[in-house]
Amino acid sequence: MFIQHKQLEYLNVPAEKVTHLHSASSGVQLAFAEYPPQLCQAYLLQISGGNKVLIVVAFYLTDNQCSICFVPEFGEVSSADAEETYEEGYSFVESMGFDLTETDFHLLSAKKKKSYWTALPICQPPKKQEPDAPVFAEITVQDIEKLRLCSLKSLGRFFASM
């Protein structure tokens, strides 16, 4: 079972630690808690360090320009259990409507891995959202008086037409 890792906002991991990488061939409309429904991209990756492996499912929210990451409930696994956990991650991503494809990341040269990895949106810090512009401009007392007079005239014409 995969659970959301709320502190993990993006993947700041060296490319050489990523041993497997699958990505979704197209986006899917999803709604995560605290975010409006939007088009998302999905990634499944295996990060190796020593004899431990961490499987990460990362979703990139296109409108909010941020990532949401999920990890196995029990965290890192041994190298022997990595394949089974990776398959669980694969099923998790596909159950949300994505079609994952192999990127052949593990076959790239070290230089190409680094440039490919750093270009992925899940490796970028989240963009700070600009506050929404106010819906209404500042209204003066004169504007309110003009609206009141216009409404009274309209109301008078309405009653006269009855």
Instruction: Give residue limits of the domains in the chain.
Output: 2-123
| pLDDT value of position 22 | 94
Predicted local distance difference test score (pLDDT) of residue 136: 53
pLDDT value for 81: 86
pLDDT average, residue stretch 119-148: 71
What lies within 8 Å, CB to CB, of 59 at 6+ separation is 30, 32, 40, 41, 42, 43, 67, 68, 69, 70
